[in-house]
């Protein structure tokens, strides 16, 4: 065992210990939890939340935040199901369209933050209102249907493996590599650590911030594409709870609200903890509103802790 690694990354190790303890506790108190069907449902739930939270990780690491991810998810599901409308031949062009639109939204977020100097909180809150309004103009209720081929995204299998879970694992590995092994990843950490120092070091901080928000919107769109396949239709408010829910795993996983500290490995543990808790709430018949209270408490506590640390 590498004790040096454990000392250096004790926060991440502790979060995974909490995850393991939670799984043991829930599994010991409810025999349905460890059934193959239930485990599959937990992993599928982790895909949608994980994709959105991974994008949010990049935003928070750069000392920002993106409150528009939920509305991007909602708009993605509406456009995808509404435009495909059961036709296999529309899958590729529609997916390309919604991904392009998400990148444009992310670019607009980053550009406005860089050029105006307005807080990411305010800019992305405004963008959330714009995009959510567009989704509700396009559809005031469930809309469209997906094509037979599109079901594979959420329900397909590659051999014995669930396709969405396998794809989620690949995306996770890619993003970990991007953060830890690429110049872009190092620049994201530098931007969150101290933007002025990063700028004086020759890093084009404005360009990196724009790329971060484009990536965040892209991950939200991927989450929306997956949810569309899972639901079989578009829903204009399905992304509502992701606005804050995508933040919770990032904070639980050890990423600092002040930026520059944390990463995808910790966020993954946070995602699994939250999805296990959500599943446990359902299995024990507890009101989901209690989980909302817990999630809100985590966000408020983390914000207060890091604000005090900054002062």
Judged on CB neighbours under 10 Å (0-12, 13-18, 19+), 56 is buried
Q: What is the pLDDT of residue 180?
A: 92
Over 70: is that where the pLDDT of 204 sits?
yes
Q: What is the pLDDT of residue 119?
A: 94
**What is the rounded distance in angstroms from the CA atom of residue 241 to the CA atom of residue 280?**
18
Choice among 66-80, 104-118, 238-252 with the minimum mean pLDDT: 238-252
User: How far, CA to CA in Å, does 96 sit from each of 75, 101, 108, 172, 296?
Assistant: 14, 9, 18, 21, 35
Q: What is the pLDDT of residue 6?
A: 62
Q: What is the pLDDT of residue 298?
A: 77
**What is the rounded distance in angstroms from the CA atom of residue 66 to the CA atom of residue 278?**
23
Over 90: is that where the pLDDT of 295 sits?
no
SS3 labels along 31-77: CCCCCHHHHHHHHHHHHHHHHHHHHHHHHHHCCCCCCCHHHHHHHHH
Q: What is the pLDDT of residue 68?
A: 96
Q: What is the pLDDT of residue 145?
A: 92
Q: What is the pLDDT of residue 9?
A: 63
Over 90: is that where the pLDDT of 234 sits?
yes
Chain segment 243-264, per-residue pLDDT in tens: 989 999 999 888 888 888 889 9
**What is the rounded distance in angstroms from the CA atom of residue 190 to the CA atom of residue 197?**
8
Beta bridge partners of 162: 157
Domain map of the chain by residue range?
A: 39-243
Q: What is the pLDDT of residue 2?
A: 58
Chain segment 143-199, per-residue pLDDT in tens: 999 999 999 999 999 988 899 999 999 999 999 999 999 999 999 999 999 999 999
The pTM assigned to this predicted structure is: 0.92
User: Does residue 236 contact residue 135 with C-beta atoms inside 8 Å?
Assistant: yes
Q: What is the pLDDT of residue 297?
A: 82
User: In terms of C-beta distances under 8 Å and separation of at least 24 residues, what long-range contacts does 252-255 make, across chains too?
Assistant: 252/15, 252/298, 253/12, 253/15, 253/57, 254/11, 254/12, 254/15, 255/57, 255/60, 255/61
Q: What is the pLDDT of residue 74?
A: 97
**What is the rounded distance in angstroms from the CA atom of residue 104 to the CA atom of residue 149?**
27
Residue 193: left if φ>0, alpha if ψ -120 to 50, beta else—which one?
alpha
């Amino acid at each position: 065992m590498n004790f040096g690694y454990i000392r250096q990354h004790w926060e991440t190790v502790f979060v995974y210990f909490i995850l393991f303890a939670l799984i043991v506790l829930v599994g010991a108190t409810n025999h349905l939890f460890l059934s193959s069907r239930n485990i599959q449902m937990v992993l599928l739930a982790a895909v949608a939340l994980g994709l959105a939270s991974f994008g949010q990780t990049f935003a928070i690491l750069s000392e920002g935040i993106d409150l528009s991810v939920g509305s991007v998810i909602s708009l993605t599901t509406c456009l995808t199901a509404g435009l495909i409308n059961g036709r296999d031949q529309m899958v590729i062009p529609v997916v390309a369209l919604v991904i392009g639109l998400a990148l444009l939204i992310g670019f607009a977020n980053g550009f406005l933050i860089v050029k105006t100097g307005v807080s990411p909180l305010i800019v992305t809150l405004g963008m959330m209102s714009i995009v959510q309004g567009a989704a509700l103009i396009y559809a005031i209720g469930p809309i469209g249907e997906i094509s037979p081929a599109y079901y594979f995204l959420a329900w397909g299998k590659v051999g014995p493996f669930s396709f969405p879970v396998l794809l989620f694992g690949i995306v996770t590995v890619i993003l970990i590599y991007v953060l830890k092994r690429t110049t872009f990843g190092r620049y994201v950490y530098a931007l969150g650590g101290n933007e002025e120092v990063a700028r004086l070091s020759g890093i084009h901080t404005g360009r990196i911030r724009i790329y971060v928000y484009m990536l965040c919107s892209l991950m939200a769109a991927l989450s929306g594409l997956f949810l569309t396949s899972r639901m079989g239709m578009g829903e204009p408010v399905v992304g509502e709870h992701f606005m804050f829910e995508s933040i919770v795993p990032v904070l639980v996983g050890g990423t600092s609200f002040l930026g520059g500290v944390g990463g995808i490995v910790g966020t993954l543990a946070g995602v699994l903890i939250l999805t296990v808790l959500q599943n446990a709430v359902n299995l024990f018949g507890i009101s989901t509103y209690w989980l909302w209270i817990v999630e809100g408490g985590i966000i408020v506590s983390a914000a207060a802790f890091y604000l005090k640390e900054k002062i």
